[in-house]
Structure formats: C-alpha cells, structure tokens
Amino acid sequence: MEKIVILTGAGISAESGLGTFRDEGGLWAQHRIEDVATPEGFVRDPALVHRFYNARRVQAAKAQPNAAHEALARLQRDWPGEVVIVTQNVDSLHEAGGAQDVIHMHGTLAGALCAACDHRWTAPPEMSVGEPCPACAAATARPDVVWFGEMPYQMDAIYNHLAGARLFAAIGTSGQVYPAAAFVHEAAMSGARTVELNLDPSTGASSFDDVVLGPATETVPRWVDQMLISQ
Ligand code: BJW
C-alpha cells in the first residue's frame, strides 16, 4: 500500500504553546542564532546555551499534544500503508499524541550528548556547564540537538523513505532550513504528490502540488479525515 512521508516543523506545536523560530516574536527574535544554535556559540558561552535549552526543556515538558499531533497518530494507525513522521522539532509531542517511530532529524530536548565522545544519555531537566559525560568523564555535555553546520540525524533513512513515498506532506515549517527544505524536491523527483499544510505559505510553497492554509489544529485533522475516507 502507498507510503506517506510527513515532515513537521515548529508550527505543528505552536498551538500547544511552544514558540516557533521565525514568526513574529519567535525564538530567533529573542536570541541570536549564532549564540544559541551553533557549535561555535556553545564553545564561546556554554552557560548561555544551557540556559536557553533548559528553559525550553521545562516549557516542552508542560506542553500537551494538540489535535494535529493526534490526527497524525490516527493516520499512522488507520492508513493501510506506512506513514513515516519526520520532525524537525525537538519536543516529544508527536509521541505524546500517540505516534510511533518518529524520526527526530534535529535531535530532542530529552537527550544529552557528549561533545567529546558522542555518547548519548537522557538529559536531566537542567543541564549545567562542566557536567561530566557518564562514558568518558569529559566535562563537555551538551543538548542532543542539531545546530547549524552540523549533520541532521538519520539522513540515509529519510532519503530512502522519500524515494519510496507516494505522498509527501510538509506541516508547519517555513521551508527556510536545509536539508529539510529540499525534501519536497526529493519526493517529487521520486514521483510523489506533495502537499503543504501551513498557517501562511512557506518559502517553497510554489514547489508543492497542493497548499492548504490555516492553523494546524484545524487543517491537519480535516486532511487526515479526507485521506482516510479516500483510501
Ligand atoms: C503554523 C502555525 C500553526 C505557525 N499552524 N502552521 C543549502 C543546502 C543545504 C544546507 C544549507 C544550504 N544553505 C545553507 C545551509 C546550511 C544550513 C541552513 O539551512 N541554513 C539556512 C538558514 C539557509 N543548514 C544546516 O546547517 C543543517 N545542516 C546541514 O545542512 O548539514 C549539511 C548537509 C547538507 C546536505 C544534506 C544533508 C546535510 C542543520 C540545520 C539545523 C537547524 N537547527 C535548528 C535548531 C535545532 C535545535 C532547536 O530546536 O533549538 O532547527 S534551527 C531551527 O529551524 C530548528 C528548526 O527545526 C528549524 C526549522 O524551523 P521550522 O520548524 O520551519 O520553524 P519556523 O519558525 O521557521 O517556521 C514555522 C512555520 O510554522 C511558519 O511557516 C509558520 O507560518 C507556521 N505556523 N503557527 C500551522 N498554528
């Protein structure tokens, strides 16, 4: 049966109370990307970076999945073929909404990573500078998230899924960050139909076959209903 690949971004979690990056008043209006989302920024001022991610970890832990997360989990459950969810989000709201095997291409707030030996473990609610790695004892613990200039996770698996997709949907992402912004082209080259669901048209909206505008909690459940009726 037909495989669906879904890419999600910060917009799907906006109505759960988590800020997006590039919308008015978003995270990048309050923090410099170079300071909090690059490996160089972490080397310069690890305390600042830990404060940024500690605050977001606390906020994400309080957030609840919304109707859009739950609808995608329903699609995964009821669609007769495979539904692969690839998220750029570092929150766990897809899983909390019932989704399975979510690919977190930009990592997760729940994880800690040793910058020296790449060992991974569960992050404490508050990470601090100098925290030793449980494997090599280096004082280089960092959040397990993907910053600019770093390779996103599970890229081979994602490209394999895109090559086999019959439908690709991008939900709540501005299409400004690569490689995720190019997934629509990868999927289209493999013959997939493509659809964007977003509040406003993204940078790459003209690359999609269909564009559905509106808040994710309204558009996504409606789109899932239509998909399940039309199967
Ligand atoms: C709603 C809504 C509602 C609001 N309902 N919708 C060309 C090719 C390849 C790479 C590059 C390139 N040019 C430059 C690069 C490098 C760079 C890059 O992309 N730079 C750009 C700025 C140009 N990329 C990288 O460095 C990446 N690594 C890399 O490329 O490695 C080499 C490589 C090459 C080729 C193949 C493979 C690899 C790494 C990028 C890492 C990004 N990291 C961040 C931080 C993660 C940790 C954290 O969370 O803090 O990831 S940055 C930030 O942006 C975060 C997000 O995941 C990411 C995307 O943001 P997103 O989700 O789209 O959010 P917004 O805010 O931008 O948009 C929200 C959308 O929602 C809007 O459209 C709203 O309208 C909508 N919305 N409310 C529905 N209720």
149 close to ligand 1 (CB < 6 Angstrom)? yes
Are residues 72 and 128 part of one domain? no
Tokens coding 163: 């090559």
Are residues 203 and 119 part of one domain? no
- The pLDDT of residue 52: 97
The number of folded domains in the chain is 2
Number of other CB atoms surrounding residue 35 within 10 Å:
15
How far is C-alpha 149 from the chain's CA centre?
17
Instruction: Tell me the C-alpha to C-alpha distance, in Å, between residue 9 and each of 1, 39, 172.
Output: 26, 22, 5
User: 120-122 and 107-114 as β-strands: parallel, antiparallel, unpaired?
Assistant: antiparallel
Alpha helices in 19-106 (DSSP H): 27-30, 33-36, 39-44, 46-62, 67-78, 93-96
Are residues 171 and 91 part of one domain? yes
Is the per-residue pLDDT at 103 higher than 70? yes
Are residues 43 and 99 part of one domain? no
User: pLDDT tier at 82 (50, 70, 90 boundaries)?
Assistant: very high
Contacts of 23 (CB under 8 A, 6+ apart): 14
**Domain closes at, from 119, 145, 171:** 145
Mean pLDDT of 79-98: 98
Q: Calculate how far, in angstroms, residue 136's C-alpha sits from the geometric centre of ligand 1.
A: 31
Q: Is 119 labeled as catalytic in the residue annotation?
A: no
How far is C-alpha 101 from the chain's CA centre?
13
Nearest CA residue ID for atom 20, ligand 1: 177
- The pLDDT of residue 1: 63
Cβ atoms of 128 and 112 closer than 8 Å: no
Measured in degrees and rounded to the nearest 5, phi and psi for residue 216 equal -55, -35
Q: Calculate how far, in angstroms, residue 80's C-alpha sits from the geometric centre of ligand 1.
A: 31
Are residues 32 and 44 part of one domain? yes
pLDDT in tens, 202-213: 989 999 999 999
Q: Calculate how far, in angstroms, residue 196's C-alpha sits from the geometric centre of ligand 1.
A: 15
pLDDT in tens, 106-120: 999 999 999 999 999
212: DSSP letter: E
d(CA 199, CA 170): 12
199 close to ligand 1 (CB < 6 Angstrom)? yes
**Domain closes at, from 85, 117, 145:** 145
Are residues 26 and 13 part of one domain? no
Q: In percent, how much of the chain has pLDDT > 70?
A: 100
Are residues 36 and 98 part of one domain? no
Are residues 208 and 96 part of one domain? yes
Give me the domain span that covers residue 51. 21-62+108-145
Is the per-residue pLDDT at 101 higher than 80? yes
Q: What is the model's pTM? A: 0.97
Is the per-residue pLDDT at 4 higher than 70? yes
Are residues 12 and 26 part of one domain? no
- The pLDDT of residue 231: 84
pLDDT in tens, 144-155: 999 999 999 999
Task: Compute the mean pLDDT over every residue in the chain, rounded to the nearest whole number.
Answer: 97
Are residues 137 and 47 part of one domain? yes
Nearest CA residue ID for atom 50, ligand 1: 37
Are residues 139 and 58 part of one domain? yes
**Domain closes at, from 120, 145, 170:** 145
- The pLDDT of residue 172: 98
CA-wise closest residue to 177 among 5, 10, 12, 2: 10
Are residues 221 and 160 part of one domain? yes
Mutation pick for ligand 1 pocket among 51, 69, 148 (CB with most ligand atoms within 8 Å): 148
CATH number, domain containing residue 77: 3.40.50.1220
Alpha helices in the chain (DSSP H): 11-14, 27-30, 33-36, 39-44, 46-62, 67-78, 93-96, 155-163, 183-189, 216-230
